[in-house]
Structure 1
C-alpha cells in the first residue's frame, strides 16, 4: 500500500515538509541569480514577472512563511479546542492551493496577472477559515487575534498583487513589509506563549519548583500590541507610528526574554533555539524601528527579522511540533540542533552584507548558503517523521503537544 496518503494526515507533515523543501529550492534560485551577477553576468528571460529581488522577498514571506504558519496552526488548533484534526482531503486540497500559488508566481511572466493573484491569494483564507471554525467550537475571544493576524498577512499579499496587476502604483513594497511584519507579530504572540511555557515544563520535570520563567502581563501587552501596530501602521503609510511601535515591541520583547531563564536551557537545543529566535525577533523590531527613524539600514533590519526571527522561530517550532505530534521524544536530532545554530550565523552574515556594501556579495552568498544548509539538515533529519507512522507519545510529550 502506498505511503503517500500518510503525508496528508496532519498539518505538521505536509506543510512542514513543504516549508522545508521550498526554503531550500527558493533560496537556490536566488543564490544562483546572485552568483551570476557577482561574477559579472546577466540573467534574462526569467519565467516570473516581478524583478528577481521582489520574487525572492515575496516567496520567502508568502511562500515559505504561509506554509510554516499553516502547518503550525492546523496542527495546534485541534489541540487547543480538543477536536479532531482535519481529514485527508482537506490537507490535500489546502496543500494543492499553496502549491498552485507557488507555480503561478513562478510562471507569472506568461500568465495574466489577475490569474496569478487569484491563485496566490486563495490559500490563506482557507487556512484562516479552518482555524476560525475550530476556535468557534470553544470560543475564546483572545484566540481570534491569531485569525486577525492571518488576515493582515493576506492583506500584505493583496497589496503586492494590486501593484503587479497595475491597479496601484506603489503598494508592493508596503505589502511585502506588511506581510513580513505581520508574521513577526504572530511570532511575538505565539513565541511569547510557547517559549516560557516549554521552558517551565522542562524545569518542572527536573524537580525544580522555584526560579521558573516569569511572564508579566504588562510586558506581554506592550510587546504584542506594539508588534500588531507595526503592520497596521504600514498599511496606512504611518511610518513614524510604526517606528515607535516597533521600538516598544522590541524593547518589551527583550525584557520578557530576560525573565524566561534562557541560561538554564543551554544544554537543550530544542529549548534554547526558541529563546534565541525570539530574541532575534525582538532585536529585529528594534533595528527596524531605528531604521524607520533614519538610524541604520532597513534592509539589514528586515533580514534580521526574516532570517533570525521568522526563519529561526519557524524552524524551532516546526521541528518541535513535528517530533511531539508524531509521538517522538522532544529531543532535537543532532542535524536539527546544528541547523538551529546555523540560522543565527546566517542572520549575522546577512546583516553584515547590508551594513557594509563592500561585503555585499560575499556576505549574502555565504548567508544564503548557510540557510540552504540548515534547511537541508532539517528536511533530511525529519523526513522519517513526515512520512512515518505516529508513535506512542509519553505523558509528558502529550501534555506539551496540547500547549
Structure 2
C-alpha cells in the first residue's frame, strides 16, 4: 500500500504517541532549563511564595520526563499487548493538559498551582488507568508493573503540588526528590524491556538468534531496590538506613550497566547510551547514600546525577532508539544523535562535579555552560529526527 503524502502535519503527529510527545520532551528538556538559567538567572517572572527552584525541579521531572513517559507508554503499550494504538484527538487532549501545566511552570505564578495540578492530574491519572484497562481487556500482566509505578508517580506529583500550594518548601522538595528517584526506577523497568532486543539486534542483525539473555532474577532488581529505598524514605527511615538502601539500589543499576559489556559491540552508540543511563543513575544513588552517611557533597548534587545523567541519557536513548524503530529504520545513530549523548553527559558532569568538589567551576554564569550543552543535546536529537517524525511515508512503519 502506497503511503499518503498529502496528510496535514497535525494528522501525522497524532498518528502515534511518540510523534507528538518525543519532540515536546526534547523541546521542554532543552529550552526550559536554559531559559531559567541564562535568561531569568534562576528566577521566574511571577514566583512569589515559592522558591523558583521548586518550580524548576517539578518541571524537569513532570515536564520533560513526563512528556517522554506519555510518548513511550502510549506507543509501547499497544505494541506489547498487540492492541490498537491511541491516535488523534485523545493524544492532542493529553498534549494540551501536559502543555498547560508547563506554561504555568514557566511563569511560576502561584495562582496557577491548582489549575496546573488539575492539568497534570489528567495525564498522570490517564496513563495508569489506560494500562490497567488495557491489561483487563487483553488479559495480560505485562503492563501491570508500569501501571503500578505510574500510580505511585501520580501520587507523588499530586503530593508535591499540594505542598507547593500550602507553601511547604521542605515537603515539596521531599516529594520531588522521591519523584525523581521513582522515575529512575521506572527507567529501570523501561531499560529491562529495551536493552534485550536492542542488544540482540546489535549482536545478530538477522534476528535468527537471541545471544543476549540477561539473568531473569536480576532483570528488575534495580527498580525493586528503588521501590524498597523509596518506601523506607516515606516511612521515615533514618539517614543511615536509607543511605545504605540507596547504595544498594545504585549498585543494582551499576550491574545493569555492566551487562552492556558484550565484547566489541559494546562500543556501539546505542549500547553505550543505555549503559551510561544505568551508570549515571547508579552513581547518583550511591552518591546519595554516601551523602546520608556523611560524605562531604550535598544531596542535591547526587540527585542531579540521577535526574540529569541517568534520566537525561535514558530518555535520550528511548527517543533515539524507539524513534528509529517506529519510523521504519534500523539501529545506527547519526553523528548528531551521537553528539547529543556526549553533550548530555558533559552537561551533567559540568553541573555536578564542581558542586561535589571534584573539579573547579567552569567560567561564565553559574551553570551557564552546562545549560547550553544540555539544550544543545536535546535540540540536536530533534534536528536529527524531525524529518522522519513529520514524514507521512514513515506512518505505521515498525522495524
Both proteins in one fold, TM over 0.5: yes
Shift of 1:266: 4.5
TM-score, normalising length: structure 2: 0.88
Does residue 290 (structure 1) correspond to residue 290 (structure 2)? The answer is: yes
Map of 1:198 onto structure 2: 198
Query: Using the alignment, how far apart are the partners of 2:190 and 2:136 within structure 1?
Result: 19
Answering whether residue 399 of structure 2 is matched by residue 388 of structure 1, we say no
CA distance in 2, matches of 1:227, 1:382: 32
Cα distance change, pair 108–30 in 1 and its aligned pair in 2 (3 A): closer
2:253 aligns with 253
Unmatched tracts of structure 1, length 5 or more = 38-42, 399-403
Deviations, residues 109-144 of structure 1 (Å, cap 9, x unaligned): 262543332223322111222222223333343631
1:30 alignment counterpart: 36
Residue equivalent to 2:379: 376
Aligned pairs (5 A) from 1:1-400: 2-32=8-38, 36=41, 45-46=45-46, 50-109=50-109, 111=111, 113-141=113-141, 143-166=143-166, 170-205=170-205, 212-238=211-237, 239-295=239-295, 296-356=297-357, 359=361, 364-391=367-394, 398=399
Two-structure CA RMSD over aligned residues (Å):
2.7
User: 2:336 touches 2:380 (CA, 8 Å); kept in 1?
Assistant: yes
DSSP 3-state at the match of 1:116: helix
Per-residue deviation at 1:183? 0.6
- Give the paired residue count: 389
TM-score by structure 1 length? 0.87
Superposition deviation, residue 45 in structure 1: 4.6
Alpha-carbon distance between aligned partners in 2 of 1:361 and 1:161, rounded to the nearest angstrom: 35
- 8 A Cα contact 2:258 2:275, kept in partner: no
TM-fit CA distance, 1:29: 1.6
Q: 1:45 to 1:274 in 2, by over 3 A?
A: closer
User: How far has the Cα of 1:101 moved from its partner?
Assistant: 1.3
Q: Which residue of 2 aligns with 1:401?
A: none
In structure 2, runs of 5+ residues without a counterpart are 1-6
Q: Answer yes or no: is the 8 Å Cα contact 1:262–1:275 preserved in 2.
A: no
Check 1:171–1:351 CA distance in 2 against 1; reply closer, same or farther (3 A cut).
same
Q: Is the alpha carbon distance of 1:130 and 1:330 closer, same or farther for their aligned partners in structure 2, counting shifts above 3 Å?
A: same
| Match of residue 40 from structure 1 | none
| Structure 1 pair 393–86 and aligned structure 2 pair: CA distance change class (3 A) | closer
The more displaced of 196-205 and 217-226 is 217-226
**Distance in 2 between the 1:219 and 1:280 partners?**
19
